[in-house]
Amino acid sequence: MGNSLKTPSECFEFILPPCVIVSIKTGDTTSAGLHNTAYLQLTDQLGHESEEILLQGCSLTVFKKGHTDAFRITKLPFNFGTVKKVKLFRKETKQNIVEWYVEKIEIRYHKIAGPEGLLVFPCNRWLRNDKAIVLRLYDSCLPQLDEDSYQRDAELFSKRAKYRYCQGISGLPPRLKKFPKNEVFSTNFKWDISLRRDKLFARYNLVSFEKIPWHDFYEFDGIYRTLGEPMSKNFWMDDIYFGRQRLAGCNPTVIKLCTEIPPGFRVTPSHVYPFLEGLSLDAALKSLRLFIVDYSIFEKADVDSERAVISPYALFFLNKKRDLVPVAIQLFARRKENNPVFVPSDPIYTWTIAKMWFNNADAGYHRACAHLGFSHLLLESVAIATHRQLSPSHPIYRLLASYIQYVIPINSFETNQLIAYDGWLDNATNLGVSGIISVFQEMWPSWRLDHQGCLPQDLKDRGVLDLKILPDYPYRDDGLLMHTAIENHVRRIVEKNYFNDVIYLTEDFEMQAWANDLVETDPLLGCNIKIQGPRSKVQGSRSKVQGSGIPVNLPQYDEYGYSPNYPTLLVGEPPCDTRWRDKHDVLRHLPTKDLCLQSYDPIALKSGELFLKDLKDAAITVIHRNLLRKYPYDYLNPCSSKN
């Protein structure tokens, strides 16, 4: 009574020999597969070793690129314990070196289901026919505690030869000197911009426009029949939405509390009094209700084209409805003549054109600094330092691996195309390549990892950390949730691996070498990242940079997708007076239709992933906040971010 029926195989399981299932995943890299056999040897927690196990399939290519091959292993010693070490090797003696990229090895015990029966041995290494690889369980160990130090040292010696710094452009973070084989993924075609654009046109049947001007705004509708309309299309002329772009757009890291008007900004009390709800300019400053975006640094931009480049100021006011609205825009920082202060009471299309030109500068800063400089180029130098100084077995390397995995191939395939002269940025932006590079060259020397690279400190420096001063700031509110989740995650890993003892950190020579690389000022030896205090602080601060690419990447389609809203390129001269204008004047500032369609990348980069329970809690909070917001801000919601 109560006995369940068993299958014939289950009836005889007690006489079957003990076995484990070994799964080996070959990496998705060029020439990663193996056209021959390999051998495996297992070691348990007591040091008992299995025989050399031949891994052989029924086809010539056993280990295909990107595939997982499983093997049933029964040749184990009697009472063989839990596997703690795996040795993977080959026995070929050919003079030609053949390499095989192994991503990971998983071992599951027969009859044991669930995660407790799964042992993971991460590899992420190339196996040569003349060298064996020894992997420990979870392959995460501090260097001073590693029993296989010879293999570890040999790996780092080899990687330092492959990952070398070079000074690509003076005044920028160092780049990778030569693209190594380790970074050649079969998915690299995804970052070929021209190929991606052609596939996008074919997939969505997009209209290919000619070099003709725009005559009306409805002509944009043909672009969005299959892609869907960007959110900005319906609100781009709204002042509240314009203010919202400083808090939740592509570039939410620039706005700061205004405590005094810059000398070059010639706004007067009479300019803004009608828009300050009865407050004088001084009273609004003292009550901490004015905010400013200052792009006067564009005066130093080295522009080699005839396109107009502005260096604007914009003043914003927090009204009683808690909306941030623009109250004054000046398009040039130092020009004394023909440089009016535009205000919301100007003719509507005149005011709209002033906002378009300001957003053109904002898009230029986004391309130069927030996106290219502080996301792509900075992380490439950090990735080089990580590969050079941290063994793949180091717990901090394991922590960072998923974040830096595609940084170098993306930069080599996509970023190099972007910043090429006569390339996309050169032809579809007012700054051009030389202007974008020169703007970042001006910003890079003052960038600090413990200030701009640390979200809470950056918000504090800009005077916008306090919710009482700026109540609704989605980038800050949701970003701090992510920051806390990441910081807690990093702290738990660091405390566990270093046993809450600073001595282990001090004796970790790989970590100390990594920190030295990050702050080294010589571009041929390190990253030249500035940070105050002990170099070991770099470890804690590094985690704070990781989420920085999400809010400057994901909103791109909503902002750039409608050219009048966030134009990367405007033609003609910026307005130099406040006279009346109509919508045709607005359209005349837009480039021809073919260039407008090239001014945005409709495929948003996928970033972030749910990796902790803290992120689930953050997601719930963000969803609740969005129900109360006029314009939902979902770019830092963990549920909508994929890595």
* pLDDT tens per residue across span 113-126: 444 578 999 888 88
Q: What is the pLDDT of residues 524-537, one digit of tens each?
A: 999 999 887 544 44
* pLDDT beyond 90 at 361: yes
Find the helix packing angle between 474-497 and 395-404, rounded to 10°: 150
What pTM was estimated for this model as a whole? 0.84
Q: H or E element: which one contains 197?
A: helix 193-204
Q: 125 pairs with which residues across the strands?
A: 102
Give the pLDDT score at 202.
Answer: 56
Range with top average pLDDT, 20-34, 218-232, 497-511: 497-511
Q: Compute φ and ψ for 389, nearest 5 degrees.
A: -115, -15
* Phi-psi region at 338: left, alpha or beta (left = phi > 0; alpha = psi -120 to 50): left
Percent of the chain predicted with pLDDT > 90: 44
Can you say whether the dihedral through the CA atoms of 132, 138, 144, 147 is positive or negative?
negative
Domain spans of the chain, in order of start:
20-139, 209-370+567-606, 608-642
Q: Please list the residues that pair with 73 across neighbouring strands.
A: 20
Greater confidence (95 vs 472) lies with: 472
pLDDT band at 614 (very low <50, low <70, confident <90, very high): low
CB 281 within 8 A of CB 287: no
Architecture of domain 209-370+567-606: Roll (3.10)
pLDDT value of position 431: 93
Question: What's residue 9's pLDDT?
Answer: 44
Which residues make beta-bridge pairs with 86? 42, 135
In this structure, of 2-16, 71-85, 230-244, 577-591, the range with the lowest mean pLDDT score is 2-16
Say whether pLDDT at 165 is over 80.
Answer: yes
Taking residues 87-111, what's their average pLDDT? Answer: 80
Q: Can you give the three-state secondary structure of 59-111, one letter per residue? A: CCCCECCCCEEEEEECCCCCCCCCEEEEEEECCCCCCCCCEEEEEEEEEEECC
Name which residue leads in pLDDT, 181 or 517: 517
Dihedral through CA 544, CA 547, CA 548, CA 550, nearest 10? -170
User: Taking residues 157-166, what's their average pLDDT?
Assistant: 93
Rounded average pLDDT over 480-506: 88
Question: If pLDDT is split at 50, 70 and 90, which confidence band does 630 have?
Answer: confident
Q: 243-280 pLDDT, tens per residue?
A: 999 999 999 999 999 999 999 999 999 999 999 999 99
Higher confidence at residue 129 or residue 447? 447
Residue whose token pair is 């050919």: 94
Residue 613 is predicted with a pLDDT of 56
- Per-residue pLDDT, 350: 97
Give residue 265's pLDDT: 96
Token duo for residue 555:
């909103």
Q: Tell me, what's the pLDDT at 239?
A: 97
Residue 550, pLDDT score:
72
Q: Which one-letter amino acid corresponds to residue 331?
A: L
Q: Which two tokens stand for residue 127?
A: 């196996």
Q: In the prediction, which pLDDT does 556 show?
A: 86
Distance CA 331, CA 575 (A): 8
pLDDT for the residue numbered 215: 85
Per the CB < 8 A criterion, the answer to whether 482 and 640 are in contact is: no
- Residue 118 pairs in a beta bridge with 108
pLDDT at 23: 92
At residue 76, the pLDDT reads 83
In the structure encoding, which two tokens stand for residue 381, read together? 């130098």
pLDDT mean across residues, the chain: 82
Query: Quick one: which H or E segment has residue 43?
Result: strand 38-44
Q: Once rounded to an integer, what is the mean pLDDT over residues 619-640?
A: 74
Helix axes 395-404, 537-545, angle to 10 degrees: 20
Contact (Cβ atoms closer than 8 angstroms) between residue 41 and residue 90: no
CATH superfamily of 20-139: PLAT/LH2 domain (2.60.60.20)
Q: Pick the more confident residue, 589 or 598.
A: 589
Tell me the backbone φ, ψ of residue 421, rounded to 5 degrees: -65, 140
pLDDT digits (tens, 9 = 90+) for 293-323: 999 999 999 887 788 999 999 999 999 999 9
- Rounded to whole angstroms, the Cα distance separating 44 from 77 reads 10
Residue 12: half-sphere exposure toward Cβ, Cα within 13 Å: 4
Taking only the tens place, the pLDDT of each residue in 12-22 is 444 445 678 89
The residue assigned the tokens 């990496």 is: 27
Residue predicted with more confidence, 94 or 610: 94
* Mean pLDDT within 570-576: 94
